[in-house]
Amino acid sequence: MIPVIQRGKALIVAAALGFVMVSCGELVDTAHFRSDEARTGAYPNGGTPTLAEPLFTYDAGAPIYSSPVVASGRVVFGTAAGEILSLDARTGERLWSFQTRGRVNSSAAIGGDTVFVGSSDGNVYALDEMTGRSNWRKRVGAPVSSSPLLSDGIVYVGGTDGMLHALSADSGETVWDRQVGNAVSSSPATANGMLCVGTWDGMLVALDASDGEEIWTVEVDDAVVATPAISDSFIYFGSQDQNLYAVYLDSGGYVGQIPVDGPVSASPAVTDDRIYFASWDHAVYSVDPGSGEFNWIFLTGDAVQSSPCVSGGRVYVGSGDRYIYSIDAETGEEVARFETGGRINGSPCVWRNTLYIGSEDGTLYALR
């Protein structure tokens, strides 16, 4: 059965049914876009950066749309000029760079001493984490802006031709691939042996991670470009149809939706008792998953395409107004802001009381 979610039920339905949240469990630091394999956007051991001053800034020479990922004391990110860079996460010293032949909007997955990242040149790259040398390159054909997922020795990544690929992390050989839609920029999330990914033709698709067989599909009214977040039995995802949705992980069954006043292309962040998401309507939202009601709404000065993250009782998010914001996760009050030199489209990550974020001004900022 393919459940279809219709617009118009809005907050009334969400409140009536309730967005139920069960504990995310014990999370550990992982080297993925959105923190972990479930893409929760929560950094429980990241600390609480104040944004008072830069630890360092690094001029990458081209706009940064890729979201930084930190592992083994190194921060890895890509640039619009096709470069993949690794910096010392404490000093900002460049450790290595690798040049692709297309834009790198994809964010890295790091594991097994290897950096996995896609490029608009139609390749997925596996680079040695210490040296940046190529271990393998897999041509998947279409541009890749989806951020790879590394799980159980398999790299999962989508392409703009609508294919989802499963590649051996050791060799890059194809394990399976599956046509899931007309284009994929969403990054796959996983839990309980299932993969979930959004498509440009308005679907959230769940597949068996072992063989790529479709389990269920949810259809909404516009593109799902955001990466879904999984928490226990539920999946939360945004759509260009100006809604945040919640469905059951096992069946895709409808739980609820929350309408806002702009497309939701940023990925939600989930904790034990809150959902945080943002929209092109300039706002960042905190939602109670039990009632579907807003806890607070925080307004920035422009569209928010940066996905919020949560660490140390703060919500951190960038905006098109060039600022990175620190918001009290409980009250929604602004704690601090830091101005960059350009729009922020990528998402922050937090490591050891330092926030890392890239900007259209071509600078990677490390803020304490």
Coil, helix or strand for 187? coil
Query: Is there a contact between 279 and 319 (Cβ–Cβ < 8 Å)?
Result: no
Per-residue pLDDT band at 141 (split at 50, 70, 90): very high
Q: Is 306 left (phi over 0), alpha (psi -120 to 50) or beta?
A: beta
Q: What strand order describes the sheet that includes 149-151?
A: 149-151, 154-158, 163-168, 174-179
For residue 335, the model assigns a pLDDT of 98
Coil, helix or strand for 44? coil
What is 10-367's CATH superfamily? YVTN repeat-like/Quinoprotein amine dehydrogenase (2.130.10.10)
pTM summary value: 0.92
| Cβ atoms within 10 Å of 99's Cβ, excluding its own | 11
Q: What strand order describes the sheet that includes 323-328?
A: 309-311, 314-318, 323-328, 334-339
Mean pLDDT, range 90-100, rounded to an integer: 98
Coil, helix or strand for 10? helix
For residue 242, the model assigns a pLDDT of 98
> Which pairing describes strands 189-191 and 174-179: parallel, antiparallel, or unpaired?
unpaired
CA dihedral 291→295→301→304, nearest 10 degrees, is -40
pLDDT per residue as tens digits for the range 288-346: 998 999 999 999 999 999 999 999 999 999 999 999 999 999 999 999 999 999 999 99
Mean pLDDT, range 241-263, rounded to an integer: 97
Average pLDDT, the chain: 92
Among 365, 279, 360, residue whose Cα is nearest residue 105: 360
Mean pLDDT, range 26-47, rounded to an integer: 82
| Cβ atoms within 10 Å of 236's Cβ, excluding its own | 30
For residue 77, the model assigns a pLDDT of 98
Q: Is 51 left (phi over 0), alpha (psi -120 to 50) or beta?
A: left
Per-residue pLDDT band at 14 (split at 50, 70, 90): very low
The token duo for 364 is 């990677």
